[in-house]
């Protein structure tokens, strides 16, 4: 398909987003930017959160992972279900009871300013790296199939895309994103469903026949019973549970949308509705992945896992049917994870690091500060995308989950210690615990899976023999985030003392 035609659809899509942003940002202020004036429709939030949760990485990496990992990813999704129930019935009531704008304010009221700053720091670190990794993956696909053919350099592509995202988020913030995410989720899901139908028909079968063909290849296996494997079902389910709690319930980006809803009941309905739809959508992604591998095998297509979907969708065989739809769905999957990340990082930095909500000043002065922070994070995103470009590793979903396991562990430990105990902490040592615990978890994971780190770092760590001796072939999987959280919890216990809580914030 002509790259000019694909490019015109990308531009048209941006024009539509800017139009939505124009109408939704009118009369906006700092409160609407941060929490949407606590007046968001829960159904819109639930639907839009699907796009934010899935992102462009899910759109290409989950189908691409079926070839080597079967349907094992669905074990993580089952863990999500448990985690989202904890969010709905434990964390949401706490956030509403305290009337929070930033969820990390809880840590200050419970433990003091150092805990607050530590929580905000680890969120910022996690979200910057995770969001830019997702952004890089999608930009690299657009670059390969559109912009390289138009002789537009990667740097220019990344810069323009970030500039356009800034245009529709800098004014309205959460208030605008609620609507743009709904539009983008619609585009992504339509793309997923129609692409799946077209691929199934291209194989000359129906959904029942497609499942039978995938079963014959072993793709539909969901539960891995190998205890030593990183994808052992208990590791994935437990890991998925705590990934959901940490990456949604303890994540300002996801929670600022939830607490923008009018009341607790609506917010809980939002979470549970979002969870039900998310499970169905993830299964569809896995089903599509199985079909893509069957089609690739039949037509002798060999490519990298993350390039499989775009290679087939944009090939001559499908350019007239799903090529354009794939591009629209891909950017629809990209933008909810990036626009929300920049907005939430701006909120977190302004409120948690700068203490904007505590400082004196006019609305206009605070708005100027917010805009400076917003543009600064956009610049940071641009630099990080260029770093990922230099590394040039597009098999990125495993990296994101691994990095989340390291950086969200302190958040998991801090919040769980605050909710499950009534002990106070030695504030001076909080940062020490929050730095040592992730380093311990990282060291343990490197010892468990040295080959993963050797592949990513392109160096020999010399840990293979030690790994075989100590772990006997056991590989740490997505339970890494739980191990990290436990290390943090135990470290906090060591620096704790009995006493009354700083505020009446018990459940």
**What is the pLDDT at residue 368?**
84
Task: Note whether residue 43 is domain-resident.
Answer: yes
**What is the pLDDT at residue 499?**
66
**What is the pLDDT at residue 241?**
92
Task: Note whether residue 435 is domain-resident.
Answer: no
Overall number of domains in the chain: 1
pLDDT in tens, 352-408: 888 876 776 677 777 788 888 888 998 999 999 998 888 776 556 667 778 888 999
**What is the pLDDT at residue 177?**
67
Give the structural domain span for 227: 3-393
Contact 425, 433 (CB under 8 A): no
Q: Which residues have a Cβ under 8 Å from the Cβ of 202 and sit 6 or more positions away?
A: 295, 317, 318
pTM score, two decimals?
0.79
**What is the pLDDT at residue 59?**
75
Q: State residue 228 phi and psi, 5-degree precision.
A: -75, -20
Cα distances from 179 to residues 92, 211, 254, 336, in angstroms, run 22, 36, 15, 10
Please give the DSSP secondary-structure letter assigned to residue 19.
Answer: H
Q: Which helix (H) or strand (E) holds 439?
A: helix 430-448
Report the alpha-carbon distance of residue 391 to residue 226 in Å, rounded: 32
β pairing state of 424-425 and 496-497: antiparallel
**What is the pLDDT at residue 51?**
63
CATH code, domain with 262: 1.20.1730.10
Task: Note whether residue 414 is domain-resident.
Answer: no
Task: Note whether residue 476 is domain-resident.
Answer: no
Mean pLDDT by 10 residues, the chain (507 residues): 76 78 60 49 67 68 87 92 93 88 88 93 89 83 85 91 76 61 78 89 90 91 86 88 88 77 84 88 92 91 83 80 79 70 83 78 78 89 89 66 86 94 93 96 87 73 72 80 94 87 50
Task: Note whether residue 124 is domain-resident.
Answer: yes
**What is the pLDDT at residue 417?**
96
Which residue is it, tokens 């200050």?
108
Task: Note whether residue 363 is domain-resident.
Answer: yes
Helix/strand/coil percentages in the chain, nearest 5: 75, 0, 20
pLDDT in tens, 83-136: 999 999 999 998 888 887 788 889 999 999 999 999 999 989 988 888 888 888
Task: Note whether residue 53 is domain-resident.
Answer: yes
Report the alpha-carbon distance of residue 249 to residue 92 in Å, rounded: 8
Task: Note whether residue 184 is domain-resident.
Answer: yes
User: 3-state class of 424 per DSSP?
Assistant: strand
């Amino acid at each position: 398909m002509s790259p000019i035609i694909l490019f015109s659809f990308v531009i048209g899509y941006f024009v539509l987003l800017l139009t939505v942003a124009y109408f939704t940002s009118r009369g906006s202020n700092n409160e609407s930017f941060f929490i949407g004036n606590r007046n968001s429709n829960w159904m819109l939030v639930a639907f839009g959160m699907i796009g934010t949760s899935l992102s462009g990485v899910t759109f290409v990496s989950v189908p691409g992972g079926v070839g080597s990992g079967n349907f094992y990813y669905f074990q993580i999704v089952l863990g999500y279900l448990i985690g989202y129930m904890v969010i709905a019935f434990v964390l949401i009531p706490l956030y509403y009871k305290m009337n929070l704008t930033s969820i990390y304010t809880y840590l200050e009221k419970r433990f003091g300013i150092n805990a607050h700053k530590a929580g905000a720091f680890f969120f910022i670190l996690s979200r910057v790296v995770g969001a830019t990794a997702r952004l890089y993956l999608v930009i690299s696909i657009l670059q390969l199939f559109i912009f390289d053919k138009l002789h537009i350099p990667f740097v220019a592509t990344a810069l323009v895309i970030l500039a356009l995202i800034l245009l529709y988020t800098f004014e309205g913030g959460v208030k605008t994103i609620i609507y743009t995410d709904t539009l983008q989720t619609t585009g992504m899901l339509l793309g997923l469903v129609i692409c799946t139908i077209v691929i199934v028909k291209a194989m000359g079968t129906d959904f029942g026949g497609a499942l039978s063909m995938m079963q014959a290849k072993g793709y539909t296996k969901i539960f891995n019973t190998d205890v030593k494997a990183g994808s052992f079902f208990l590791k994935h389910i437990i890991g998925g549970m705590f990934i959901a709690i940490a990456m949604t319930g303890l994540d300002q980006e996801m929670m600022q949308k939830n607490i923008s809803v009018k009341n607790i009941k609506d917010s809980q309905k939002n979470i549970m509705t979002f969870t039900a739809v998310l499970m169905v959508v993830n299964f569809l992604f896995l089903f599509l992945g199985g079909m893509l591998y069957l089609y690739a095998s039949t037509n002798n297509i060999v490519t990298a896992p993350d390039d499989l979907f775009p290679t087939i969708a944009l090939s001559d065989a499908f350019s007239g049917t799903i090529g354009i739809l794939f591009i629209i769905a891909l950017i629809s999957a990209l933008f909810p994870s990036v626009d929300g990340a920049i907005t939430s990082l701006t909120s977190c930095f302004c409120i948690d690091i700068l203490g904007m909500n505590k400082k004196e000043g006019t609305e206009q002065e605070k708005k100027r500060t917010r805009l400076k922070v917003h543009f600064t994070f956009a610049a940071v995103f641009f630099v990080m995308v260029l770093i990922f470009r230099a590394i040039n590793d597009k098999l990125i979903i495993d990296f994101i989950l691994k990095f989340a396991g390291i950086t969200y562990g302190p958040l998991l430990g801090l919040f769980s210690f605050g909710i499950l105990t009534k002990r106070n902490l030695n504030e001076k040592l909080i940062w020490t615990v929050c730095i040592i615990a992730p380093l311990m978890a990282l060291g343990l994971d490197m010892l468990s899976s040295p080959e993963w780190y050797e592949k990513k770092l392109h160096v020999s760590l010399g840990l293979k023999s030690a790994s075989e001796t100590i772990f006997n072939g056991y590989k740490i999987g997505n339970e890494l985030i739980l191990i990290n959280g436990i290390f943090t919890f135990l470290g906090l216990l060591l620096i704790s003392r009995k006493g009354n809580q700083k505020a009446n914030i018990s459940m």
